[in-house]
Amino acid sequence: MRQFKKIKTVTRDFSITYKKAIETTHPRAKQIADRFHIFKNLTEDMGEYMKRTIKERIKIVNMCVESDGTKKVLNAEQRTKVETAERKWELGNEIKELKSEGKNNCEISRMMNICRPTVIKYLKMTQIPILADNSIVDKYIPLIKELINKGRKTNEIYSAVKSAGYPGKQSLLYSRLKGIRQEIRENTKYLNRSQLKKVLYKPVDEIKDKDVRGMIEQYLETNHELRKIIEMVRRFKEIIFSGRPRRLDSWLKKADLLAISELTTFTNLLRSDIKAVKNAIIYQHYSNGLTEGFNNKIKVIKRVMYGRCSFELLRLKILAFN
């Protein structure tokens, strides 16, 4: 570097060797931390945090409830009744449509292959003919779901529900458990940690896959610490592109308050090279982009050669590329 006397600005990563070499040869030169390497260190550290605290496969259960706090869960017999009632409702709508076209009851009876009294009955229908089927089990369904998700056995569920005030028989509860378990299985999905890591790179609402986006949103409702970290990452990115280096000091203080080891590792890295990081905020038009691109192309050429050729050939390929 001493051969180049007029160097005024240098962009680099967080290498201490580079930092000391530049300070020794060009003490007056501005050193600027490359933004790509700043974000790379941030996302890698936060990725390590997620690896430490979050399982590889996350169980996401859709716990949708009605306005009264319960959800109607049907067993096989009840589901059959509902399906039959829905078919009757569709048939009734077809009969009403034929009636509106001017057909009389006898004509409709012949066309639909049903008796005339049935036609009259369907014409009077104003809602889906599902009989009320309330059960004393219904108010305990949220508790039962919670116990099933915790992996409790059937007898343990009965004991817990009985303690909560369930007045019914054991056989009634057991008859409903199968339907509740099936409903939970149908509403259970799994989110991979690698999918969750997307929130470190982009806002949740910009994730294209709707199913993944929905699962991430549901998971973040329960993981408050991860939500705070995502918010800190978002604010940090705003500060880096803000042109206002003083905002970084307040961000570092807030990051320290979270007392998360991986985040502390990153803040210590920033403090160890704080001047170069603040220069990255001030001098937005400097980056290592061209150099990193050139290095990447050299590595691609080297990989294509698979180590079978000489260094001289590698040199010629690189010179020919330029």
Tens digits of residue pLDDT in 270-312: 999 999 999 999 998 988 888 888 888 888 888 888 777 788 8
**161 in Cβ contact with 61 (< 8 Å):** no
pLDDT band at residue 38 under the 50/70/90 scheme: very high
Enumerate helices (H) and strands (E) in the chain, giving the number of each.
16, 4
Instruction: Pull the structure tokens for residue 266.
Output: 């990153």
pLDDT band at residue 239 under the 50/70/90 scheme: very high
- Mean pLDDT for the chain? 86
Contacts of 57 (CB under 8 A, 6+ apart): 190, 191, 192, 193
The predicted pLDDT at position 211 comes to 87
Angle at 259 between CA 253 and CA 261, to 5 degrees: 115
